[in-house]
Copies of this chain bind each other. A is one copy, B any other.
Amino acid sequence: MLNIDPSWRHIVSPDFTPYDSMDPERKILLTGADLFFPEPCLPSHVIDATKHALDEGRTHYSLANGYAEPELREALVHKLKTFNGLDVDPETELLVVPSSAMGLYLGIRICVTPNQGDEVLNIEPGFSENINDVLQIGAINVPVPVREETGFHLDLDAIESRITEHTRCIVLTNPNNPTGTVYDREELLGLADILERHNLIAVVDQDFERQVYDKEYVTFATLDGMRERTISVFGTSKDMGLTGYRVAYMVVPKELFPILKPAIFNMHGPTNTFAQIGAAAAFNDPQYANDWVELMRSRRERGQRILDDIPGISCPLPEGGFYFWMNVSRLGTSEEVRDWLIKDAQVGVGLGTWFTPLGEGFLRVMYGAVPSEALYDEALRRMDTSLRKLATIKGIA
Contacts and interface: CB of A to CB of B under 8 A. Distances in A.
Interface of A: 1-9, 11-13, 33-36, 39-42, 47, 50-51, 54-55, 57-63, 98-99, 101-102, 105, 109-116, 129, 132-133, 136, 138, 168, 199-201, 228-229, 237, 242-246, 253, 255-256, 259, 261-263, 265-275
Given A5-B111, A129-B266, A256-B4, A243 B60 contact: yes
Nearest to A32: B61
16 contacts: A1-B255, A3-B200, A5-B113, A13-B266, A34-B63, A50-B274, A61-B237, A98-B268, A102-B269, A114-B114, A115-B116, A133-B267, A136-B266, A244-B273, A246-B269, A272-B275
A275 B255 CA distance: 34
Contacts of A39: 57
A58 to B, nearest CB: 7
A102 B268 contact: yes
Given A57-B40, A58-B244, A259-B9, A253 B2 contact: yes
A292 to B, nearest CB: 14
A271 B243 contact: no
A118 to B, nearest CB: 8
Contact of A110 (B5, B168, B244): B5
Contact of A101 (B7, B11, B244, B269): B269
A1 B229 CA distance: 10
Contact of A268 (B99, B132, B261): B99
A136 B267 contact: yes
A271 B246 contact: yes
Given A101-B269, A105-B266, A113-B5, A54 B60 contact: no
B60 A35 contact: yes
A1 B263 CA distance: 19
Contact of A259 (B8, B133, B266): B8
Contacts of A129: 265-266
A262 B42 contact: no
Nearest to A228: B2
B268 A105 contact: yes
Contact of A13 (B36, B57, B265): B265
B47 A61 contact: no
Nearest to A111: B4
Contacts of A34: 60-61, 63
B3 A244 contact: no
A45 to B, nearest CB: 12
Given A110-B4, A272-B244, A13 B261 contact: yes
A387 B237 CA distance: 52
Contacts of A256: 2, 4
Contacts of A55: 47, 51
B266 A101 contact: yes
Contact of A267 (B57, B101, B261, B273): B101
B259 A4 contact: yes
Contacts of A112: 5
B57 A54 contact: no
A62 B269 contact: no
Nearest to A5: B113
Contacts of A263: 8, 11, 136
Q: Which 4 A-B pairs have the closest CB atoms?
A: A244-B273, A114-B114, A13-B262, A61-B243
Contacts of A33: 63
